[in-house]
Amino acid sequence: MDSVVEMVEALESTSRGFAGVVPELARALGACSTPGCRAVLGHPPTVPAAPPTLSREQWLLFTQLLHHDTAAPERGAVLAPDGSTVTLGPLLAGIEVGLRRALGWAVPTLEPPVDALYAVTITEALGTSFLLARDSGGHRPVLGPAGCWDDVNDPQNYTLLGPPSPIPDAVANAAMDGVLLGAQLAQAPVPLADLLRGYYGTGNGTEKGRPPSSYRRRDFGALVAPEKLEEEVAAMLRVLQVLPPTRELLEDVEPEEVVAIAHQAARDFTEVYVACPAIVPRCMWGARPYRGTPKPLTLPLGSVYIHHTFIPSAPCRTFTACARAMRAMQRFHQDTRGWDDIGYSFVVGSDGYLYQGRGWHWVGAHTKGYNTKGYGVSYVGDFSTTLPDRDAIALVRDNLLPCAVRTGRLHPNYTLRGHRQMGHTSCPGNSLFHEIETWHGFK
């Protein structure tokens, strides 16, 4: 993302700081090539000559990032300082809608009417994804997966962790960011480089704390209710029914099916990307391989055990610091304690993210005698006398645990306990233990 901001700043310098030049250039290069996006924003401009403010290498990178490939929607992805990955197409399309609205844009007449901001970012992709899944008999993925970079310090190649859907995580992140930043720009236009730098925290080494992008799920959920998302997906599908490129795809879809597809699409997207927390996969924090053969858990589990790491003793508030803490814990667990892997199922950073340890499906080494019965969830830090940040508390209490129940990984009548209740230890610290005494399921 730092590289993208540098290119955006260089492009804006040729237009006296006008932010609209970059989204229009993105459309010329193929970022808004789908039928619905073109119906809203119009046909793309002609591809210009390479701008003199960009080097040959920068121009080549920019054109590659903006080229849309329906077979690989995750292409055009960039790594943000908070450890999340976003594709530029939906992001810049949402930004263009926001800028146009700030200038008094006359919204294109479509029937039925659609909200342009949602149409160019999420609703066309979401409706199409669930429509294609319907036609495949449910054998086609509709959302996800996540992916990993070859090197988070010098990211070059991004690889998905499973079969792709039209909305892999990088597209979902970009769509939510496009909605949020588009809505912000509609109220107060600013140079795009400044907007991106402030939102993603670029240029500060990510060591100054959480950037706004790490709150995207919370902020998107606050802005876009599931009912609104469902309404806009249904409207977009009806528009696609009359557009020549997509008319045949939807010719046999009855009105009640449109409603059903939109309902499921909005419900599932909200569940996966708003109600459930983001989990940083092992390959993103630099995990070593598991030693030996992991043992599978039998789901749903009936218990959750809360820990604190004690060492590291300070909470981690950036992706860089949390990934470093994860690697240190794994080295200690494997090399000093002789375990097969990091012991915890999940680790909670104060950067807004959960970090995958053993994960949902494999027996951990967190609570002796009870590892097959529950998940071990550990907060990074020593919470003997202080509490984790409020956001970190809510991430587990209000997001992870309800999500685990809804997805069938945790029994609805689960029991929650502190590590000290299961063995001779002060873990998870007095302050955190008194906090979890107030949580649902504590016994």
Asked if the model's pLDDT at residue 342 lies above 50, the reply is yes
Report, as an integer, the average pLDDT of 291-319.
96
For residue 202, what pLDDT is reported?
Answer: 76
Euclidean distance between CA atoms 408 and 403, whole angstroms: 9
| Cβ within 8 Å of residue 172, ≥6 positions away | 122, 143, 144, 269, 272, 273
pLDDT of residue 206: 46
pLDDT of residue 317: 93
Q: Give φ, ψ of 347 to 5 degrees.
A: -125, 140
Q: What are 373's two structure tokens?
A: 């019965």
For 333-344, give one letter per residue: b (16+ CB within 10 A) or e. bbeeeebbbbbb
Read off the pLDDT of each residue in 51-67 and give the average, rounded to a whole number: 92
pLDDT higher than 60, residue 19: no
Return the HEC string of 344-366: CCEEECCCCCEEECCCCCECCCC
Given a cut of 90, is residue 219 above it in pLDDT? yes
Q: What is the mean pLDDT of residues 328-344?
A: 97
pLDDT at residue 146 in the model: 96
Q: Report which of 134, 157, 139 is spatially closest to residue 147, judged by C-alpha positions.
A: 157
What does the pLDDT read at residue 207? 53
Average pLDDT over residues 245-267: 94
Residue 255's pLDDT band (cuts 50, 70, 90):
very high
- The first and second tokens of residue 25, run together, are 């250039």
pLDDT over 50 at 4, yes or no: yes
Q: What is the pTM of this model?
A: 0.95
- Residue 203 is predicted with a pLDDT of 59
**For residue 17, what pLDDT is reported?**
45
Domain residue limits, the chain = 2-275, 284-436
State the average pLDDT for the chain. Answer: 93
Question: Using an 8 Å Cβ cutoff, are 160 and 98 in contact?
Answer: no
Give percent above pLDDT 70 in the chain: 97
Is residue 400 within 8 Å of 440, Cβ to Cβ?
Answer: no
Residues in Cβ contact with 89 at an 8 Å cutoff, skipping those fewer than 6 apart = 26, 31, 32, 66, 68, 76, 174
Average of per-residue pLDDT across 340-363: 98
CB 422 within 8 A of CB 367: yes
Q: What CATH code is assigned to 284-436? A: 3.40.80.10
Tokens 């873990």 found at: 427
pLDDT at 418 over 60: yes
Share of the chain above pLDDT 90, in %: 85
pLDDT-derived band at 88, boundaries 50, 70, 90: very high
Q: Is the pLDDT of residue 416 over 70?
A: yes
SS (H, E, C) the chain: CHHHHHHHHHHHHCCCCCCCHHHHHHHHCCCCCCHHHHHHHCCCCCCCCCCCCCCHHHHHHHHHHHCCCCCCCCCCEEECCCCCEEEHHHHHHHHHHHHHHHCCCCCCCCCCCCCHHHHHHHHHHHHHHHHHHHHCCCCCCCCCCCEEECCCCCCCCEEECCCCCCCCHHHHHHHHHHHHHHHHHHHCCCCHHHHHHHHHCCCCCCCCCCCHHHHHHHHHHHHCCHHHHHHHHHHHHHHHCCCHHHHHHHCCCCHHHHHHHHHHHHHHHHHHHHHCCCEECHHHHCCCCCCCCCCECCCCEEEEEEEECCCCCCCCCCHHHHHHHHHHHHHHHHHHCCCCCCCCCEEECCCCCEEECCCCCECCCCCCCCCCCEEEEEECCCCCCCCCCHHHHHHHHHHHHHHHHHCCCEEEEEEEEEHHHHCCCCCCCHHHHHHHCCCCCEC
Q: What is the mean pLDDT of residues 212-217?
A: 96
Mean pLDDT, to the nearest integer, of 258-267?
A: 97
pLDDT at 350 over 60: yes
Cβ(147)–Cβ(160) below 8 Å: yes
pLDDT tens sequence across 362-406: 999 999 999 999 999 999 999 999 999 999 999 999 999 999 999
pLDDT in tens, 120-153: 999 999 999 999 988 777 778 999 999 999 998 8
Can you read off the two tokens belonging to residue 144? 């996800």
Angle, alpha carbons 215-191-7 (nearest 5°):
90
Give the model's pLDDT for residue 60. Answer: 94
Provide the pLDDT for residue 136: 74
- How far apart CA 397 and CA 426 sit, in angstroms, is 21
pLDDT average, residue stretch 292-303: 97
Q: Which residues contact 94 (CB under 8 A, 6 or more apart)?
A: 117, 120, 121, 175, 177, 178, 179, 180, 181, 182
Torsions phi, psi of 336, nearest 5? -95, -45
